Chains A and B, each alone.
Chain A
Amino acid sequence: MQLAMSNPPPGPIVLWLSSRYENLELAQAVLDHVCKVRGVGTDAEHWMGVALREALANAIKHGNRQDPAKRVYLSLGGAANVIEIVVGDEGEGFEVAAIADPLAPENQMKTSGRGIFYMKTFMDEVTFSRGENGGTILSMKKKLDSDEKKGVHTP
């Protein structure tokens, strides 16, 4: 609480990105800035970065089918002790329940299908919903406990 009071949340930062993988670097830089301002430890920052990149890659690849005319919404914010990342796409949506378990033996050697698993592993809360105009809205939250602010968090 003390750290949160000295580093108040600056309010969400919102970006609209074209569906290009190059924009992952821009999003990562913004997350790094938010983490620095909020006093987030380097380990927690790293794992949030991995989750952010997975979310954006999914939105670009599977949501918007790499159509650069379609945009990806990104919001970085959250309350005092939480970082919340929201990613939206303009795609057709998908059924989360249809995603195969990457830990199942039959899926272990597949070359894809681990992105959502990594997001769920590295973040504390991951939810999917449909956008008002279609597409998928992904919300991820990371709680910032004292250990994470010190940078000692591991998966």
Chain B
Amino acid sequence: MKTSVTARDAGDIKIIELHGKITIGAGDLQMREAIHSAISGGAMKILVDMKDVTTIDSSGVGELVGCYTTATHKGAKLKLQNLPPKISDVLTVTQLITVFDVFANEKDALASFG
């Protein structure tokens, strides 16, 4: 699967969809640019959909942490949905799974923003 990042809106929630590898020198930067673009565009509710992520490495994880911190400092909320098991494993072993709000489906994720 080719790495790409797309964005769509659900009301006032910006949904960032990641596809393929979120790894160093490729998807990690695309993900950061998309999330930062959403934040600079005024989005206060950001939902990152990881359903189609095949691999994430420490650089991708680091960028995700950085985006979460940036969003929080701006007063925005950044949440995750549809984590494939292997992506969840990568966040679990570094105990980051407890940092993020993670949802199994979009309905629950959207409702959580209130």
Contact = CB atoms under 8 A, between A and B. Distances in A.
Interface of A: 21-22, 24, 46, 49-50, 53-54, 57, 61, 102-103, 108-115, 117-118, 121, 154-155
Contacts of A117: 58, 93-94
B55 A50 contact: yes
26 contacts: A21-B25, A21-B26, A24-B24, A24-B25, A50-B90, A53-B23, A53-B24, A53-B55, A54-B57, A57-B25, A57-B58, A109-B65, A110-B62, A111-B65, A111-B66, A112-B59, A113-B58, A113-B62, A114-B58, A114-B62, A115-B57, A115-B58, A117-B58, A154-B85, A154-B89, A155-B93
Contacts of A21: 24-26
A112 B58 CA distance: 7
Nearest to B32: A111
B95 interface: yes
| Most chain B CB within a 10 A radius of its CB, from A21, A54, A111, A112 | A111
Given A113-B62, A118-B93, 17 more contacts: A21-B26, A50-B90, A54-B57, A57-B23, A108-B96, A109-B68, A109-B99, A110-B65, A111-B66, A111-B69, A112-B58, A114-B62, A115-B57, A115-B58, A117-B94, A154-B85, A154-B89
Interface of B: 23-26, 55, 57-59, 61-63, 65-66, 68-69, 85-86, 89-90, 92-96, 99
A53 B94 contact: no
A29 to B, nearest CB: 13
Contacts of A46: 55, 86
A102 B59 CA distance: 13
Chain A to chain B: the 4 pairs with minimum beta-carbon distance, closest first: A21-B25, A111-B62, A114-B58, A115-B58
Given A103-B94, A109-B99, A49 B55 contact: yes
B23 A102 contact: no
Nearest to B54: A46
Contacts of B99: 108-109
A152 to B, nearest CB: 12
B52 to A, nearest CB: 16
Given A21-B26, A46-B86, A57-B24, A109 B58 contact: no
Contacts of B55: 46, 49-50, 53
Nearest to A107: B94
A18 B89 CA distance: 31
A42 B86 CA distance: 12
